[in-house]
Amino acid sequence: PGRLYVVATPIGHLGDLSPRAAAVLRGVDLICAEDKRTSQRLLAHIGSKVPMRALHDHNEREQAEALIDQMLAGQALALISDAGTPLVSDPGFRLVRAARERGVEVVPVPGPSAVLAALAAAGLPTDRFVFEGFLPAKSGARRAALNALAAEPRTLVFFEAPHRIVAAVADFADLFGPDRPAWLARELTKRFEQFVGATLGDVLAWSQTAGDQLRGEMVLVVGGCPDAQRPVEVDVQQLLQQLLPLMP
């Protein structure tokens, strides 16, 4: 029967492609890739001659049904993105959802993701965390999003583009306070991998003077709001029920 393999690929270091991922990418009938040129390097590296089809946000909806027909006819397909795990701030959600709806088996081939790589090495609590993806690009919308997260007790993970990092971290430090624990993970698994921390103030000071180092790919990991700083939540109903009998 046909299948859809959702395959994680390296976020920098080619050695992070798992043997199972390589075997799948050599063995399927078709590979759906976010960008064929980017993925061509990876396929050449593992000696895969499987044909590729571009699948990105702009054509995913129209491509999905035909791809599912192919799988229902018995073909095995692999879905990859430019780097890391597909669907994580990357295309693929519509295809996977449609595959599930039409009864195509979907098989994950797990591997690298910048989210977990940054989280696992930042030294902030990992028992519970929230992944927020990319924040809005404009300051007003970004500050509104950050305000809604300021009291979040779980560790927070964000993607950010290098040309926005100074403005974004300035908003973070302003709204969360400069003493909030935070680590900026840069160029993970690559030659110039770097972790900058240990507070939002430190990350801000670094980013304001980093110059050339302000390039590359970045994940920001921010500690959750400490209990002592969280606004007290009042259950008004309950409070009224307790107070009413006491009223004259």
For ligand SAM, the binding residues in 155-214 under the rule CB under 6 A are 159-161, 185, 187-190
CB of 247 to ligand SAM, least distance (A): 55
Residue found by looking up tokens 């999003």 in the block: 145
Smaller CB separation from ligand SAM, 75 or 89 = 89
Which residues ranging from 104 to 123 are in contact with ligand SAM (CB under 6 A)? 113-115
CA 28 to each of CA 5, 49, 72, 206: distance values in angstroms, whole numbers, following the listed order: 9, 10, 14, 45
Residue nearest to ligand SAM (CB): 84
Question: Which listed residue (9, 39, 63, 85) binds ligand SAM by CB under 6 A?
Answer: 85
- Residue from 2, 5, 7, 12 touching ligand SAM (CB under 6 A): that is 12
At 53 the three-state DSSP class reads strand
CA 5 – CA 66 distance, rounded (Å): 16
35 to 74: interface string for ligand SAM, x by CB under 6 A = ----------------------------------------
Q: Is 90 in the site for ligand SAM (CB under 6 A)?
A: yes
From 142, 146, 111, 115, select the one nearest 129 (Cα to Cα): 115
Angle at which helix 200-209 crosses helix 165-176, to 10 degrees, equals: 150
